[in-house]
Structure 1
Amino acid sequence: MTTLRDAAMKSKAWPFDEARRVLKRYEKAPPEKGFVLFETGYGPSGLPHIGTFGEVARTTMIRRAFEVISDLPTKLICFSDDMDGMRKIPSNVPNQELLKANEQKPLTSVPDPFEEYDSFGDHNNAMLRRFLDTFGFDYEFYSATEFYKTGQFDTVLKRAVDHYEDVMKVMLKSLRDERAATYSIFLPIHPETGRVLYVPIKSVNKTDYTITFDDEDGREWTLPVTGGNVKLQWKPDFGARWAALDVDFEMYGKDHSTNTPIYDRICEILGGKKPDHFTYELFLDANGEKISKSKGNGLSIDEWLTYASTESLGYFMFLKPKTAKRMHFDIIPKMMDEYHQQLRAYPGQSVDQQLNNPVWHIHGGKPPESKMVVPFSMLLNLASVAGASDKDGLWGFIKRYAPDASPEANPDLDQAAGFALRYFDDFVKPTLQFRAPDDKERAALEDLVAALRDPAAAVAQIAKKNAMDGKEEAAPEADMTSDDFLQTVVFAIGKNHGFENLRDWFKALYEVLLGQSQGPRFGGFIALYGVDETVVLIERALQGKLAV
């Protein structure tokens, strides 16, 4: 009998691929630190965006996969580079003048423009942690400011002094001549202004682990590299952090990929073992541009959660991490519905199939049962025609369609109903554009009304279609509550009215009745909205009351 671990060792799901790579690090002996360390890095120069969340979500998926194939303890650290100097002021935050007055200061020394936390760095860290906690991630949060100032980084900083020439040699190869002329891996924090200084270093002193430099006014200073007086430039900081923490795995975006050899070599020079890496493709906004914290383009964490569940976001993160993906509001309905499709499929799958199913990775091998008896896309269509302003309005239709459903028994559906109303109001309603049917479409719609009013007429339409197709099979018995029967009726009427490409018929239904070019499985929509209600909707369209 195949065990879960045996199946996981062969699984083609990308988290298991990565987990097996990490496991190879400890084929001969377990880690001396007592655990395998997964890390994610975060630069809190602006409000956290979905890409930041994606790193933690995906790393967690790999960590969970690792825990299936190994008994070694694991830990996940979220490391915030909040001692970085604020070089660029984000355009999507208030109090721009306040921020401008504090340029080049470490982010944890910049006042919070929202006036809620001790600093801008603390504010952005709290925003990230709030979401990570909401999602239920198991992690430890590390602050670079605390790491530097409490001396936890001192040993590696001293090694950076001892091996200064070697680290500089690695860095200088990657720099243009003009930049290389004044570059140093060390950035002093000015004792008076508190600003992070990008100035040439006059000397690096290995006897007492200090650096000497002139500030921007020409005054000479000597500072110890330890105790938070100095920070490393961001590329050396990457490798130094890996060495200091003994990191085993870290993922980052494709824009870092060319620097990977630099990070790795510096880690090794400073006494560490380079971690395994995973490079993911970047997230793009509606215009195909890279999502940026400073620009605030693309979807924010809060925006996604206004219109969809955290699980749907996890589902999006699982899909094809090596492929650049556009993140805009229009992907949300698809992610909601596909997530629940995978949930429904999971119980009937083999172990191998379950390990390849995204919901296994989203829920750590324990996915819940889907109670979404109505797809999210259908809820949007229902919101469009029902004129419902709250969830109670939608539930009136839902309970008639699924009598056993309720907000208490179907909490995911109840949550989705609220999401659907907000999404419809903000994104669908403003774009609705109804049109009048042409003569061919009008005749078909009139027949559809007749079929919905009279089950015998519905059966006759199916029989007519079967005869046209040369089929001798009898039409099914009328069941005006069945999605499948109603879909067959709609399909038959389209064929009977000469729609060679039935997509044109269904597109006409959507554009005339729903004001959109795409829509739901129409038989399911009729069953949900109601046969009588659909008749009224079609009649209003035929009377020209929708296309106004």
Structure 2
Amino acid sequence: MDWLKKIADEIIKRGGKAFVIASGMTTSGPAHLGTLSEFIYPYSIAQELKKRGYDAEFIFVADIMDAFDDIPLTLKDKAEELKKYLGKPLAEVPDPYGCHDSYGEHFLAEFLELMKRFGIEPDEVFKASDLYKEGWYDDYLRLFVERRTELKKIMEETAMRKLPEDWWDFVKPICEKCGRIDKTKVKKVEGDKIYYKCEACGHEGSIDISSHRWKLAWRVDWPSRQDFLGVDAEGGGVDHFTKGGSWDTAREIHKRIFGKEPPVGFRYGFVLMDGKKMSKSKGIGALNEIMALLHPAVIMYFILKHDIVENKNFKMNPRFLLQLYEEYRRVALGEDKDPKRVKAWELSGKKVWKVGFADLLVYYQIYRDWKKVAELVGDVESIKDLAPYVEEWIKRNFVPDEYKVEIKQGKVGDPKGCEFLSKLAQLLKEEMSDVEIHNAIYEIARELGLSPKEAFKYVYRVLLDSDRGPRAGRLIKAIGVKRARDMFLKACEDEPSKVR
């Protein structure tokens, strides 16, 4: 996993034995799959530094001073109540569920709980609203006012746009009349007075810097907090790190305004859902849906097995998820030794599941009793980890057709099939593995001049009264060799050409 090594190497070059790895996000709604990048990557970097013998702290900043600019699809039922708060800081929007002090804090709490499910807890969590109230940004605003001409030049160069002579948009007051922060326009800053007009309600007024009823625009907020929090490395999505993005501005502010080396910056690619960018407002990639079906370790593995800058395309379909489960298991068992995948497995919790998720789907549909399944597969730990997900797949009817199992005595339909099944019944032994059974089916089919497709169809017809099903060896093993053998022989009882 070259990206992890390279970023850690670059951080270590800064000197010292202790480092701060930061992340932050606007907690403006329920998390989606792409949100996981905000903690999986910095956490992994901190772990790599610790592994090398350094002290590493992972800190998280919740940007709840940002404006509430959109109502997520998942909250459309509360839209009537919430729409009157649009444009106000998230820290001053009521919690729609009534359990936290604000909207921003509600979704921050959800996000922190989400981290725990992945086995991750930040060393420190900061709310932007607290950082502003405590005055951490005050001197930075004063510095930007003093160096406004140079700051304007940096913004024009890095954002690649011409700014007006009366540019003061690096600070956004909260309107004293309507409480909005998204529509205020600063006219000037003199001493510690910020003069503004609100384009939403028309109010004109002024506030003191010490009132803390303002926030810096993102491009200047980011380097400011990195400076006072002592950040050594922080990442962001591709949009922040493209030419003209906010990282270019932050880097130059560190160098030219603060006179310091900027933190190590790293970018990560988008996580896509069926080729589309994740979105809180549109409900694309809703994480609660994904986490009901996919174990957190496998989700984390999916993120980490790709290169950090690569876009990752997730597919919310059962075959894709089954493939992920099986790939994770094979890496854990040492059957897949790809270094990148092995490292992703190590960072995602090193879960070892001896029995496959698809096997558990088959077994549980047959017996509906986890104690019985545990006796048959002999892997209690796998069942403990995966049983809730298996049950959810079945409950949601998410199981692919070929894995849907309902044991039902069927008929063969022709003498050739009866001959095949009779030979198979004679060959089957209790001690055979599913792979050995599967291979035996191929071998008998070849002897009798049947295609594999025909042979498997006979098996499914008799055991499931269907033309398709899960892997035949797995199915026979799950049903029980004796029971399967009896069903094969019973199906042939009325056939005159049966082989005894």
- TM-score (structure 1 length as normaliser): 0.76
> 3-state SS of the aligned residue for 2:215?
strand
Aligned partner letter, 1:104: G
Cα offset, 1:52, TM superposition: 1.9
Quote the Cα distance in structure 1 between the aligned partners of 2:302 and 2:107: 24
Aligned partner letter, 1:399: E
Cα offset, 1:41, TM superposition: 1.3
Question: Which of residues 68, 74, 77 in structure 2 aligns to 1:92?
Answer: 74
Partner of residue 51, structure 1? 34
State yes or no: 1:374 paired with 2:355.
Answer: yes
State yes or no: 1:281 paired with 2:264.
Answer: no
Instruction: Kindly indicate whether the alpha-carbon contact (under 8 Å) linking 2:271 and 2:311 is maintained by their aligned counterparts in 1.
Output: no
Partner of residue 6, structure 1? none
Question: Which of residues 324, 327, 332 in structure 2 aligns to 1:335?
Answer: 324
Instruction: Kindly indicate whether the alpha-carbon contact (under 8 Å) linking 1:242 and 1:267 is maintained by their aligned counterparts in 2.
Output: no
Instruction: Kindly indicate whether the alpha-carbon contact (under 8 Å) linking 1:172 and 1:180 is maintained by their aligned counterparts in 2.
Output: no
Aligned partner letter, 1:280: Y
Question: Which of residues 471, 475, 487 in structure 2 aligns to 1:525?
Answer: 475
> 3-state SS of the aligned residue for 1:246?
coil
Shift in alpha-carbon separation, 1:52–1:353, aligned structure 2, 3 A: closer
Instruction: Kindly indicate whether the alpha-carbon contact (under 8 Å) linking 1:89 and 1:294 is maintained by their aligned counterparts in 2.
Output: yes
Partner of residue 198, structure 2? 215
Instruction: Kindly indicate whether the alpha-carbon contact (under 8 Å) linking 1:163 and 1:269 is maintained by their aligned counterparts in 2.
Output: no
Q: Aligned runs of 1:410-425 on 2, under 5 Å?
A: 410-425=380-395
Quote the Cα distance in structure 1 between the aligned partners of 2:461 and 2:209: 67
Aligned partner letter, 2:330: Q
Partner of residue 187, structure 2? 202
Instruction: Kindly indicate whether the alpha-carbon contact (under 8 Å) linking 2:4 and 2:45 is maintained by their aligned counterparts in 1.
Output: yes
Aligned partner letter, 2:49: F
1:169-207 Cα deviation digits (max 9, x unpaired): 2334536669998761111111232210434322133xx
1:120-167 Cα deviation digits (max 9, x unpaired): 111101101112233332311111111111112223222222222222
Quote the Cα distance in structure 1 between the aligned partners of 2:234 and 2:464: 47
Quote the Cα distance in structure 2 between the aligned partners of 1:171 and 1:250: 20
Shift in alpha-carbon separation, 1:66–1:448, aligned structure 2, 3 A: farther
Cα offset, 1:527, TM superposition: 1.7
Quote the Cα distance in structure 1 between the aligned partners of 2:189 and 2:81: 35
> 3-state SS of the aligned residue for 2:60?
strand
Partner of residue 408, structure 2? none
Q: Aligned runs of 1:378-457 on 2, under 5 Å?
A: 378-384=359-365, 386=366, 388=367, 390=368, 392=369, 394-402=370-378, 405=379, 410-429=380-399, 446-455=418-427
Unpaired runs of 5+ in structure 1?
1-11, 459-477, 544-548
Aligned partner letter, 1:267: H
State yes or no: 1:79 paired with 2:61.
Answer: yes
Quote the Cα distance in structure 1 between the aligned partners of 2:325 and 2:165: 50
Instruction: Kindly indicate whether the alpha-carbon contact (under 8 Å) linking 1:299 and 1:327 is maintained by their aligned counterparts in 2.
Output: no
- TM-score (structure 2 length as normaliser): 0.83
Quote the Cα distance in structure 2 between the aligned partners of 1:215 and 1:99: 21
Quote the Cα distance in structure 2 between the aligned partners of 1:42 and 1:515: 53
Aligned partner letter, 2:233: F
State yes or no: 1:491 paired with 2:442.
Answer: yes
Shift in alpha-carbon separation, 1:412–1:20, aligned structure 2, 3 A: same
Instruction: Kindly indicate whether the alpha-carbon contact (under 8 Å) linking 2:417 and 2:455 is maintained by their aligned counterparts in 1.
Output: no
Quote the Cα distance in structure 1 between the aligned partners of 2:388 and 2:418: 34
Cα offset, 1:418, TM superposition: 3.0
Quote the Cα distance in structure 1 between the aligned partners of 2:326 and 2:34: 22
**Larger deviation, residues 17-26 vs 77-86:** 17-26
State yes or no: 1:239 paired with 2:223.
Answer: yes
Quote the Cα distance in structure 2 between the aligned partners of 1:239 and 1:92: 33
Shift in alpha-carbon separation, 1:125–1:537, aligned structure 2, 3 A: farther
Cα offset, 1:311, TM superposition: 1.4
Aligned partner letter, 1:209: D
Q: Provide the aligned C-alpha RMSD in A.
A: 3.6
Aligned partner letter, 2:138: D
Aligned partner letter, 2:269: E
Number of matched residues? 476
Instruction: Kindly indicate whether the alpha-carbon contact (under 8 Å) linking 1:284 and 1:324 is maintained by their aligned counterparts in 2.
Output: yes
Shift in alpha-carbon separation, 1:292–1:355, aligned structure 2, 3 A: closer
Aligned partner letter, 2:25: Y
State yes or no: 1:22 paired with 2:11.
Answer: yes
> 3-state SS of the aligned residue for 1:211?
strand
Cα offset, 1:303, TM superposition: 2.7
> 3-state SS of the aligned residue for 1:454?
helix
**Larger deviation, residues 240-249 vs 166-175:** 166-175
> 3-state SS of the aligned residue for 2:194?
strand
Shift in alpha-carbon separation, 1:19–1:199, aligned structure 2, 3 A: same
